[in-house]
């Protein structure tokens, strides 16, 4: 991570895309740097960026860059821009991508983007692949170089999804609800029929070791456990259980106002399965198969995420976060009987109750959605994220969203 000049670092954290790319508001203003014609009207358009190429290794990009092609941003800038633009899981690669969908639509740049090979395309590509970064990963009991943390192609976890994981956030050097995440990892493994070869205490110490080794104060922690390679049939009773823990920077820069605009959820055709169809209470890799399908479809249709119903037709959750509705100043949330009872969910319920807001846990239907005045989702990654739209229904995030976002922010920072 380069050392930033303090004021530039501050500007970048507050207004990442403006600091890097200037004050572009829409596609109209993306002009080819030489002809000054709209970028979609010339072949191989280029644009200049505003000045900052700061730091020894650069925050970049600077100078002249090709529109619609992959640009390398420093991870710090990448995270800042991603969060500012409300793209949570991916990062950027081109000037066009950060200006998102309407730009493609308005200026015909969608066609141009479609011509970029998929492997290099827009917000779908991670700027720096996760297997090619500097740092250290805890792997089966010891810290090893990030790039050496590999598994063999003949690994049971890869073929049959015999893998469980956690997603945790570290705020100011402290992992939020570390113990609960540790317990859930063990429980998930047990539900999947295996024991972890390390104690909760060892795994908790290992997480902090990883954070320290990588110099991370505000970040995301990803423990994962999987069945190894001794047996490659469906049965794998003798396989070694492997455990790894990685962590990466993930500061929270998103302003409250930006979050209050709310995200847009598509309605997924995929349903959360019944408890006798899948191990629904484990954070097990296989359950994310339908989440990725649902989220990809939602993103292709211009939404941020998807709302999934359950096998009975009740409202369930988003692809990686729990759901809350505000009806008549009370909070209603689906009973988590066929999906994860999120750790953030439970924290937010406690915060709401502390505010004297009644929380009702029950089966929710489409009619309830029709009556909701505010909607939000919660999760380790999502934190408390207001929802502005579900399918063709619109919601206006309001007082309760704002209160819980503020209370949650205060809660995670409490030492």
The alpha carbon dihedral of 382, 388, 394, 395 has a sign of: positive
Radius of gyration of the chain (CA): 22
Which residues between 167 and 196 bind ligand PMP (CB under 6 A)? 167
Distance of closest approach, residue 218 Cβ to ligand PMP, in angstroms: 16
- The number of residues in the chain equals 415
Determine the Cα–Cα distance for residues 314 and 321; give it in Å rounded to an integer: 16
Q: Kindly determine how many residues on this chain lie close enough to bind ligand PMP according to the rule CB under 6 A.
A: 15
327 CB-near residues (< 8 Å, 6+ apart): 368, 371, 372, 373
344 binds ligand PMP (CB under 6 A): yes
Contact 33, 64 (CB under 8 A): yes
Q: Is 295 in the active site?
A: no
Structure tokens at 208: 């902090």
Tell me the torsion sign for CA atoms 177, 180, 184, 190.
Answer: positive
| Interface pattern 373-402 for ligand PMP (x via CB under 6 A) | -----xxx----------------------
Contacting ligand PMP within 78-107 (CB under 6 A)? none
Residue 162 vs 380, nearer CB to ligand PMP: 380
Cis? peptide before 61, omega within 30° of 0: yes
- Answer for which of 298, 343, 390, 405 binds ligand PMP (CB under 6 A) is 343
Nearer to ligand PMP (CB atom), residue 155 or residue 347: 347
Partnered with residue 38 across adjacent β-strands are: 31
**Residue of 89, 166, 169 whose CA lies nearest to 413:** 169
Q: Is 21 helix (H, G, I), strand (E, B) or coil?
A: helix
Would you list the DSSP string of 109-138?
HHHHHHTS-GGG-GGGS-SS-TTS-SSEEE
As given in the structure block, the two tokens for residue 189 are 């493994």
Query: Binding ligand PMP by CB under 6 A: which of 71, 94, 239, 322?
Result: 322
Q: Given the structure tokens 């922010």, which residue do they identify? A: 409
The stretch among 68-76, 79-87, 194-202, 338-346 that binds ligand PMP (CB under 6 A) is 338-346
- Only one of the segments 29-37, 75-83, 210-218, 317-325 lies at the binding site for ligand PMP (rule: CB under 6 A); that segment is 317-325
Q: What distances in angstroms separate CA 357 from CA 327, 404, 406, one per listed residue?
A: 11, 10, 15
As a whole number of angstroms, the distance between CA 322 and CA 331 comes to 13
**Residue whose C-beta lies closest to ligand PMP:** 342
Binding mask 193-222 for ligand PMP (x = CB under 6 A): ------------------------------
Residue pair 47/31 in contact by the 8 Å Cβ criterion:
yes
Query: Mask of contacts with ligand PMP, 269-308, x by CB under 6 A?
Result: --------------x-------------------------
**Where in 132-171 is the site for ligand PMP (CB under 6 A)?**
167
Q: Which of residues 11-30 bind ligand PMP (CB under 6 A)?
A: none
Segment lying near ligand PMP (by CB under 6 A), choices 64-72, 128-136, 208-216, 319-327: 319-327
Binding window for ligand PMP (CB under 6 A); candidates: 4-12, 37-45, 202-210, 316-324: 316-324
Q: Which one is catalytic: 14, 29, 107, 283?
A: 283
Is 149 or 338 the residue whose CB approaches ligand PMP more closely? Answer: 338
Chain residues binding ligand PMP by CB under 6 A are 167, 283, 317, 320-322, 339-340, 342-345, 378-380
- Residues belonging to the active site: 283
């Amino acid at each position: 991570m380069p050392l930033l000049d303090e004021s530039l670092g501050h500007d970048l954290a507050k207004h990442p895309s403006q600091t890097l790319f200037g004050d572009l508001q829409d596609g109209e203003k993306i002009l080819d740097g030489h002809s000054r014609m709209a970028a979609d009207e010339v072949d191989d358009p280029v644009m200049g960026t505003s000045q900052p190429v700061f730091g020894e290794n650069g925050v970049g990009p600077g100078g002249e860059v090709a529109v619609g092609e992959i640009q390398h941003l420093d991870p710090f800038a990448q995270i800042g821009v991603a969060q500012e633009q409300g793209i949570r899981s991916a990062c950027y690669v081109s000037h066009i991508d950060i200006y998102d969908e309407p730009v493609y639509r308005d200026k015909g740049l969608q066609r141009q983007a479609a011509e970029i090979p998929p492997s290099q395309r827009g917000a779908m590509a991670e700027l720096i692949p996760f297997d090619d970064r500097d740092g250290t990963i805890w792997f089966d009991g010891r810290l090893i170089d990030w790039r050496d943390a590999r598994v063999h192609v003949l690994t049971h976890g890869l073929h049959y999804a015999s893998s469980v994981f956690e997603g945790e956030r570290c705020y100011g050097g402290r992992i939020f609800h570390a113990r609960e995440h540790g317990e859930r990892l063990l429980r998930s493994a047990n539900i999947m029929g295996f024991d972890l070869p390390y104690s909760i205490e060892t795994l908790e110490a290992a997480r902090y070791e990883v954070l320290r080794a990588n110099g991370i104060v505000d970040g995301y922690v990803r423990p994962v456990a999987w069945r190894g390679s001794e047996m490659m049939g469906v049965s794998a009773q003798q396989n070694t259980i492997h455990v790894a823990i990685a962590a990466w920077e993930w500061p929270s820069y998103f302003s409250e106002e930006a979050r209050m605009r709310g995200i847009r959820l598509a309605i997924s055709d995929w349903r959360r399965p019944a408890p006798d169809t899948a191990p629904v209470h484990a954070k097990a890799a296989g359950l994310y198969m339908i989440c990725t399908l649902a989220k990809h479809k939602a993103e292709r249709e211009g939404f941020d995420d998807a709302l999934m119903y359950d096998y009975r037709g009740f409202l369930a959750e988003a692809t990686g976060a729990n759901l809350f509705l505000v009806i008549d100043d009370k909070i209603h949330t689906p009973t988590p009987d066929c999906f994860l009872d999120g750790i953030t969910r439970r924290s937010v319920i406690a915060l709401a109750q502390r505010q004297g807001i009644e929380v009702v846990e029950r089966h929710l239907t489409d009619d309830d959605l029709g009556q909701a005045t505010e909607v939000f989702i919660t999760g380790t990654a999502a934190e408390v994220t207001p929802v502005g739209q579900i399918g063709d229904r619109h919601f206006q995030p309001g007082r309760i969203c704002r209160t819980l976002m503020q209370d949650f922010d205060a809660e995670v920072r409490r030492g």
